Structure formats: C-alpha cells, structure tokens
Structure 1
Amino acid sequence: MSRRDSVGLGRVARGGAVNMAGAVIGAALNVGLVIAVTRAFSQETAGAFFSATSVFLIVLAVANLGTSNGVVYFVARLRTLGAAGLVPRVLRLAFGPVVAVSLALSCLMLASAGALAEWLGDPEVGAYLVLLAAFLPFAVYADAALAATRGFHDMRATVLLDKVARPLAQLALLGGVALTGAAGLLTVAWAGPYLPAALLAGWWLRRIMRAAPPAPPAPDPDAEPPRVDARTFWAFALPRSVASVAQIGIQRSGIVLVAALRGAADAALFTAATRFMVVGQFGTQAIQFAVQPRLAELLAVEDRAGANTLYRTSTAWLICLTWPLYLPAIVYAPLMLRPFGADYSTGWGVLVVVSAGMLVSSACGMSDLVLTMAGRTGWNLVNNLAALVVTVAVSLALIPSAGAVGAALAWAAAIVVRNLLPILQLSRSMGLHPFSRTWLIAVAACLVWFVPAPLACRAVLGSDPLSLAVALALGGAGYAATLWRLRGTLGLTGLLRRRARAEAVVEDPGKTVPTPL
C-alpha cells in the first residue's frame, strides 16, 4: 500500500470535494449578500451594517471558547485510540460553558451597544448590535455542534446547514429587506437563520452519535486509556480560543477600524473589496474541514511521516484551488468590483493587496491547523496574537492617510507573520513543512495558465467582462488538462474513486489500525 493510501488521502479528498461543493455555493451566496446590501442601501448604511456584523463575529469567536477545534481534536483522537465511549463526556465538557458564556456576552453586547456606536461614529450601529445580541447563543451552539459532526468525519451537516441553507436564507431575507428599504431589519434578516441552524445542527449531531459505527480498537490494548477531563479539554481549547479571537480580529478588525478612523462609507468600500478574499477562504476552509480530523488521528499515533504527506498534498490542493481565483483578480481588479456599484470600483487597490496576501497564505498551506492538531495550541496562540498586534499597529499607522488600502496592507502583513511563524516552528520541532516537488508543480501550473492569458487578453481586449471570460476560458481549459494529466502527482485520484477503502493503514510499529469512515 502506498504512503498516500495509508494516510487516507482518498477519503480526505472526497471529504474535501463534499465541502467544496458547499463552499462554492456558500461563496456565491456570501458575495450575493454583500451585493444586495451595497446595491440597495447607501455606503453609510452598508458600512454601519458591515461594522455591526463584524463586531458580532468577533464576539462569536470569543464566546466559542475554542470548542470548534477542541471537539474535532478530541472526538477524532478518542475514536482513533479506541476510547469512543468518552466522546459524550467531551461534548458535555464543551457545550455547557460555551452556552453560558454566550448568554453572558449577549447581555454585554446589549449593555455596550451605545458605547460601541459612539466610538464608531454611527448611532445606527448601536441599533444593529442590540438586535444581533439576541442571536449570539444560537450561533455559538450551531458552530460547536457542527464541529462535533466533523469529528465523526461527517461533512454533510456543515455543508448543508452552514454553507448552503443558512446563507441562502440570509440572502433571501436580505433581498426582501432590500426591496422594502427597511434598513432597520437588515441585522434580523442576517442573524435570524442562526436559530433554525442551531436546532438542526443539534438534531444532526444526536442522529450521528446514535448511528455511529463502532470505533476501531485501541492501537495498543495495554496502553493507559486517554485522559479526558475538564482540565485536559480546556487546556487545549482555551489557548485556541484566544487564537481564534485574534484570527477573526485579523480578518474583521480592518472593517471596524476603517469605520472608526475613516467613516462607514470607507468601511463599506473595504468590505466589498475584500469579498473575493472570503470566496477563497470558503474553499480553503472546505479542505481544512476534511483534513482536520485525519490530521488529529495521524498525530495521535505519532505518524509524522503520514501527517507530513497529508500536509504537503493538501497545500498543493489549496494552491490549485485558490490561485486561479486570485491571479486573474489582480489583473482585472477594477472590473471585479463593478457588481457592487459604481462607487466601489475605486477600491481596486484593496483587492490587489488582499489577493497578493492570499497567494502567500495558500502557498504556506494550513500550517496553523497542523500546529493545532499537533497539540501546540500555546504556540498557535502566540502566533495569532503577534499577527493581531501587527494588524492593529499597521492599521493605526496607515488607515488615517491611506484609508481602505492601509487596512489591506495591515492585513497582508499579518498574514505573512501568521503563516511563516508556524512553518518555522513545525519544521524545527517536528520536521513538518508544506514544501515539496508537488508544491512546485502546483505553483507552476497556476502561473503558466493564469498569468499570461489574463495579461494578454486585457492588453488586446481591454478590461471588460468579455476579456475576462476569454482569459478564464483559455486559462481554464489548459489548466484542467494539466490537472488531469498530473492527477496522480497532485493526489487527486481519490476524488475519482467510487468507493472508499474500508480501512487505512496507520504505520505505528507495523500495526494495521482500522480507521473510522
């Protein structure tokens, strides 16, 4: 059996494909949501709405307490180590505190809404935050429950509920609000779908736990059972919680700081110009969700060679998925912003900077996730806090003079810090890194097909939709043929198999360990 078969790349690829289908739909719905708001309302109203929802998402990351990563890590790890009976205890340890904290933070949002609105210079933000606070506990519970389903290698709940159903409901409700012009209902339309999503996520998790197949036997029957208590769980989850807050702060603080330093109109411009970053992040997240439980399993039995294979191959997948999006976006930046409205095309500089930053991020792979699944949540915390400090410092220095472009430069600087630090740490401590011959092939394929074609088409046909369509058709055709020819090298053959293997070999002194499907 090949190394790639032994680490379960076929199953991971198929899980990634399921997530990818949802990511494509979710990304389209996310962009459609922003277009609906920017087209129907003024830049000031749109900026106030985006600022309020950014505050909500930052508070959501705080209330989550790191449980999304914690439950995936412990559920996958316990099942691999033959201790599936401890999974319900893990979920009780996780869910009780996060629900209590979310209720407390919901009350805090209500109490501080006026002060936040005053700081952001827009009273409309305060009204939005009051309405958003009511839905915070439901959003927190939905995130935790969906993470638990991924620990069982079930990606369908996340795809159907989080990537498709909820954003589709948000878009439909926001479209209705846009038609009426009732700006006061924007946040209710956006946050309302979290309520049914939470109920359905809880039902799905209970269904999975009742129907879950027996876990594999422990790799070493004589070994002491893994310890799972409140101290063990929260020692892992809480550092990741702070890191997650820092991470969402890196992504969302730009909108809030631009609103505070330059006004709501500039915040709306920054939000629109960074939507294509979110599209790529949906795809990245789809692969991460599929890779995460398998990484936890491999590292649980100290199979570093298998983890390195998965790390390097998934990095190539990220490059192949996201670079064909960001390279043309750099060439056609002004055109890409036209759907948001004529006033938003001036944000093309933001799109160029953000796209360049995302190229670097994809090329570094999911180093942050590998560090977490290796149990190094303390290092992960330090890295994300360092990146957040860079974001805030550069933002405060550049936003007053450069506006949204300054926020984009701050974000790009943070991305470099956040990706390079874990690569250095993983390489020195565990011998893991994302670079390989496969990495070079993925980069070369993207550069060959998505740099010359867009540049030539823009030079000959100009910067209009027809030119972009021709560039994508030419580059996409050659790229698809290249991926097909290199499917074995890039580890994509698992996507073509109709049936997964029932077992995967985990090489831990030569033993064969059945892996949960």
Structure 2
Amino acid sequence: MGADAGVAGVSTAAHAREGLGRVARGGALNMGGAAAGAVLNLGLVVTVTRGFSPDAAGSLFAATSVFLIASAVANLGTPSGLVYFLSRLRARGAGHAATRVLRIALVPAVAASLGAAAVLAVLADDLAGLIGAPAAETYLRLLAAFLPFAVITDAALAATRAYHVMRAGVLLDRLGRPLSQLALVGAAAATGSAGLLAVAWAGPYLPAAVLAWWWMRRVLGAHRRSAPTEPAPPPAPPDSPGPARSGGSGADAGVSPRAFWAFSLPRSVSDIAQLGIQRCGIVFAAALGGTAEAAVFTAASRFPVVGQFAGQALQFAAEPRLAELLEADDRRGANNLFRAGTAWLICLTWPLFLPAIVYAPLLMELFGPHYASGARVLAVVCLAQLLAAALGMGDLVLTMTGRTRTNLANNLLALAADVALCLLLVPIAGASGAAAAWAGAIAVRKGLPLAQLARSHGLHPFDRRWAMAAGSCLVWFGGIPALSAAVLGTGPGSLAAALAAGSAGFAATLWRLRGPLELDLLLRRGAARSGAAG
C-alpha cells in the first residue's frame, strides 16, 4: 500500500471526523458500563461497611489493595503493550502478526502471575503485618489463588480494545464481575461470615478470564477473515521516536520480543506506580492510623471512583485511535483528539465531583455512623479528581508516543510524592492526610506530561472547548448546588433539587454547544459504528 493513500486516509477531514466519532461512540459505550460498574462497586463497598465491622472492612480493603498491586506487577504492562502494537499493526495492514504479539505478551505474563500468586501466598503473614492489618493474612492467601485470572482478563480485554471492540470490557469487566462480586459479598454479609469475603470478592475473576479469552479469540478470528475497513496510515519514518519503529515492515515491524518489552515493561512499572498512588493511601492509613481510618478513606474514595471509571472509559476508546494517529505522525489529529477528549472528560466527571464537595456530609452517611468523619476526606479527594479531569489524558498521549520511560519517571515521582506526603500527613490528620497526599500525587502525575508533550510535540488539552465544558459545569453543578445548600440545607431534598435543576440546565447547555464540543458525533451512525458496538 502506498504512502500517498495512507496520508490521504488520515489527513482528510472526513476520515478525522470518522475516527473522532468512533472514539466518541466507544467512549459513550464504555461510559455506560463505567457508570453501572461504579454504582455496583459503590454498592459493594456499602455492603461491606454495613455488613461487617470497620476493622473487618478495613482488613479486606487493605488486602484487596495488595492484590490489585500484585496484579499490576504480574501483568508486566501487557495490556498497554497489546493495544499499542496491535493497533499499529492493524493500521499498517499487518494484522496477521497479532498471534505472534499475543504469544510474546501472554506467555511471560501468565508465568509472572503464577510466581506472584505463590509469593503472595507465602508472604501473606508478613504482608498483613506490614500493612497493619493482621487479620488480612487469611484474605491474602485466598486472594492469591485468583491472581492469574485477573492478569489473563486484563490482557485479553486489552487485545479486543486494540480492534476498537469495547463491548467485551463493558459486559465482563464493568458489569459482570462487579455484579457477581456484589451478589456474593451480599450473601457473605447475610451469613455474617467475614471469612467468605475474600472468595466472594475474587471468585468472579475466574469466569471473567474464561469469557475474556473466548471473546479475544473470536475478535481476532473475525479480523483475520475480513479485509481492513479503512485506509491504513503510511509507514512511520525511520527516525521517528518510539520503540515500535525498530525498522522493517509488515509483520516484522515492531513485534520482536525486544521491541514489545522495551515498551511494556516501563509501562508496567508506571501502572504499578499509578495503582500505588490510588491504593497506598489505604495502606498507609491502615498502618499509621489503624484499620478504621483505612475504611473511612476507602469509603470516601468510592464516590470519585465513578469519575475515574468515566475517565478510563474514554481512555480505553481513545487509546487505539491515538496509537494509529501517532503511528502516522498525524499530530494535528492527535491534538484534536486530546483536546476534545479533555472537554468530554470534564463534562462527564465534574458534574459528579462538584455536588459531592457541597454535600459531602450527607453522602458519607450512606456508609453508616462510623463514617461521618469522612466528609472532609471526600471533599479533598473530589478536588483532586477535578484537577485530574481538567488536565486531561496527557499521560496516555505521552505513552502512545512511545515514551514509556518518561511516563515511568513521571509516575515514580508522583508515587514518591504520595508516599512522602502520607508519611508526613497521615500521623497528623489520618484519612484526611491520605487524601491530601493523593491530591499532591495527582498534581505531579498529571502536570508533568503536559509540559513534556507541549515541548516535544506541541500537544496540549486547552482550547475553547475546555473553557466551555469547565464553565458549564461550574455554573450548573457548582453554583446551583451551593445555592441550594445555602437555601435548603444539605439534606436529601436539597441534593435532589440541586441535581434536578443542574441536570436540566446542563443538558440544555450541552445541546446548544453540541457542535463546538463535537458531541454531535455521538448521534451519528457512520461506518465506524461497528467499532463502538462490537
């Protein structure tokens, strides 16, 4: 395929709009799943906090945090590596090399997951003592058995996303697994047996892994049998940055084990650092403040998880498209996606975080009387998430340029800031200190990529769409809730009135701004529809 045809395919306005529309529709599908998954996860936390003592709940939350960190270690960065390389191979018309990439990725990842599970089981006693939750020892041993299935699930679903297939992740990871967890944990709460909690929480990873593997093979088989549905971008110039450009063409370009792991291993450590930022507050709160403080911090951080899922939903849809655009060195298209995605992310998440700050005491009462002190924690965490959404997905864009080592350094600096701030603030302020440390880490992790991308690629997330999205959210979900709370108090009726008025006004505003914000792409049914619905 000639370079001229590839350039024409990427550079035309129609093709760019088609690609952006596919991201929008895929993001919307992911967002629906994320919203449902967030509700299910919130229900899971409420079930645990109301069904068991704060000490038992804190021990489970600390143990599951260790499990998720171990899973991030064991996957070796394969989810990001699979999306990155499979998307680029598909864009080059070399999708037949997918089987080789999967073999390069999955054999070491599965072996690492088995080793990590053995280490977790053997060192459960020491780890439980380290996190200040001796009762978590049994939980950790039980969780270890399910660690390989978590790794397989993540890798298989990542492979489907590389082909713009989002439905598998939505149905299995966003809906099926958390729904099963909620049902099983609810059954454990009904029996009053804290010993069943770990199996109830981790058990659904087994069927999820089986179904994800089946879905991945189905998607790959369908794409092997079908011709490409869109023009491929031109081959990357030999001197372009990024580990995928190692020379060669077709199936051989960028799929050697050395190229794959040069990209994926730094990304693995970055993922560990990101998960550490999310979870080390729980661990430090347990170790330095007690398991009750860990439970308060975990409960308060459940509401912002809704927004995190929304951000991840959009990133999952944007990730393969960014890889394709940057493979073609289409910086204009990548910048447009970066900016549009940031505006969409603000519109998705700020309406959740802003009212939560105003009504933090009311929301924390959902978890029971022991958690009323977490209102300040919730407010700080929500402020941190407002900042994260406002700065966009720069870390993802940086990764898709191939600069995984730079991204790794950024995340390690952010994790170091989180640990240092936790050591300083948790002994003084407990869970509130852990929340403040998290906010500081987010500022570092999100701020550094913006400076690096602006300097190296001229990419940044700020334009009039950013101002429109932020201004609309501040008016309808900042000003209206504040006014309602001042007039009606902070009870349930006031919250309902604020959300009703704010949602109506916000919906009308978005409708008027649907063109400038490019939200009209959600309503279009072009050729890219199968990418969002597949």
CA contact (8 A) 2:77 2:264 kept: yes
Matching residue within 182, 207, 215 for 1:171: 182
How far the C-alpha of 1:12 sits from its partner, in A, is 0.8
Could you tell me how far apart the structure 1 residues matched to 2:373 and 2:317 are? 37
How far the C-alpha of 1:2 sits from its partner, in A, is 3.5
Q: Determine the structure 2 residue equivalent to 1:249.
A: 276
Matching residue within 216, 223, 248 for 1:205: 216
- State whether structure 2 residue 497 is matched by structure 1 residue 473: no
Moved more, 224-233 or 212-221: 212-221
How far the C-alpha of 1:5 sits from its partner, in A, is 3.9
- State whether structure 2 residue 376 is matched by structure 1 residue 365: no
Amino acid in the other structure paired with 1:364: L
Matching residue within 450, 470, 480 for 2:477: 450
Could you tell me how far apart the structure 1 residues matched to 2:131 and 2:101 are? 40
How far the C-alpha of 1:218 sits from its partner, in A, is 5.1
Could you tell me how far apart the structure 1 residues matched to 2:183 and 2:314 are? 27
Could you tell me how far apart the structure 1 residues matched to 2:181 and 2:528 are? 38
Amino acid in the other structure paired with 1:69: S
How far the C-alpha of 1:17 sits from its partner, in A, is 1.0
Length-normalised TM-score, structure 2: 0.92
Matching residue within 53, 61, 74 for 1:50: 61
**SS of alignment partner, residue 218 of structure 2:** helix
Q: Determine the structure 1 residue equivalent to 2:227.
A: 214
Superposed CA offset, 1:427-484 (max 9, x none): 0000000000110111111111112211111111111111000001111100000001
Matching residue within 82, 90, 93 for 1:71: 82
Q: How does 1:479-490 map to 2 (within 5 A)?
A: 479-490=506-517
Could you tell me how far apart the structure 2 residues matched to 1:4 and 1:323 are? 30
- State whether structure 2 residue 522 is matched by structure 1 residue 492: no
CA contact (8 A) 1:83 1:218 kept: no
Q: Determine the structure 2 residue equivalent to 1:113.
A: 124
**SS of alignment partner, residue 459 of structure 2:** coil
Q: Determine the structure 2 residue equivalent to 1:153.
A: 164
Amino acid in the other structure paired with 1:150: R
| CA RMSD of superposed structures (Å) | 1.8
Compared with structure 1, are the counterparts of its residues 333 and 367 closer, same or farther at alpha carbon in structure 2 (3 Å cutoff)?
Answer: same
Q: Determine the structure 2 residue equivalent to 1:139.
A: 150
Could you tell me how far apart the structure 2 residues matched to 1:503 and 1:163 are? 20
Compared with structure 1, are the counterparts of its residues 186 and 501 closer, same or farther at alpha carbon in structure 2 (3 Å cutoff)?
Answer: closer
Could you tell me how far apart the structure 2 residues matched to 1:46 and 1:357 are? 25
Amino acid in the other structure paired with 1:339: L
Moved more, 490-499 or 151-160: 490-499
Q: Determine the structure 2 residue equivalent to 1:441.
A: 468
Q: Determine the structure 1 residue equivalent to 2:343.
A: 316
Q: Determine the structure 1 residue equivalent to 2:249.
A: 224
Q: Determine the structure 2 residue equivalent to 1:418.
A: 445
- State whether structure 2 residue 407 is matched by structure 1 residue 396: no
Q: Percent identity?
A: 60
Could you tell me how far apart the structure 1 residues matched to 2:120 and 2:432 are? 30
Could you tell me how far apart the structure 2 residues matched to 1:143 and 1:503 are? 22
Could you tell me how far apart the structure 2 residues matched to 1:224 and 1:199 are? 34
Could you tell me how far apart the structure 2 residues matched to 1:154 and 1:382 are? 31
CA contact (8 A) 1:457 1:470 kept: yes
Matching residue within 22, 28, 38 for 1:11: 22
Amino acid in the other structure paired with 1:278: V
Gapped runs of 5+ residues in structure 1? Answer: 505-515
Q: Determine the structure 2 residue equivalent to 1:94.
A: 105
Could you tell me how far apart the structure 1 residues matched to 2:254 and 2:77 are? 19
Amino acid in the other structure paired with 2:110: V
Could you tell me how far apart the structure 1 residues matched to 2:203 and 2:169 are? 18
Superposed CA offset, 1:351-378 (max 9, x none): 1111001011000000010001110101
Compared with structure 1, are the counterparts of its residues 144 and 501 closer, same or farther at alpha carbon in structure 2 (3 Å cutoff)?
Answer: closer
Q: Determine the structure 2 residue equivalent to 1:377.
A: 404
Could you tell me how far apart the structure 2 residues matched to 1:276 and 1:115 are? 31
Q: Determine the structure 1 residue equivalent to 2:242.
A: none
Superposed CA offset, 1:308-347 (max 9, x none): 0000000000000100110101111101111110111210
How far the C-alpha of 1:83 sits from its partner, in A, is 1.1
Q: How does 1:259-274 map to 2 (within 5 A)?
A: 259-274=286-301
Could you tell me how far apart the structure 2 residues matched to 1:28 and 1:355 are? 17
Q: Determine the structure 1 residue equivalent to 2:455.
A: 428
How far the C-alpha of 1:502 sits from its partner, in A, is 8.3
Amino acid in the other structure paired with 1:224: S
How far the C-alpha of 1:174 sits from its partner, in A, is 0.3
**SS of alignment partner, residue 96 of structure 2:** helix
**SS of alignment partner, residue 64 of structure 2:** helix
